[in-house]
Amino acid sequence: MGPDLADKRWIIAKGVLFLILALFSAALQLLAELPTWQEAVLLLICVWSACRFYYFLFHVLHAYVGIPRAGILDLLRYLWERR
């Protein structure tokens, strides 16, 4: 495995490439299926909420709840131990 990515410019470039890939694949899917506007809105809501859940799991739980390593299994462990 190579060294960790430390250059901020490359980190930002990687994020932008992920965004372009997501937008391109979503556009191709929408164009291929020719959905109604309701389906397009539901797809946008689905993608937006999945992104927010990802942010919740890997930032909010760590920064604001205090779970040392944040993720789905860590959240489940935290909830189980509080029971």
Residue ranges per domain, the chain? Answer: 1-34, 37-83
| 73 vs 79: CA distance, rounded Å | 10
Contact 74, 65 (CB under 8 A): no
Q: What is the pLDDT of residue 14?
A: 81
pTM over 0.85: no
Q: pLDDT tens across 42-66, in order?
A: 878 888 888 888 888 778 777 777 7
| 16 vs 70: CA distance, rounded Å | 24
pLDDT at 3 over 70: no
Helix axis angle, 8-33 relative to 37-55, nearest 10°? 150
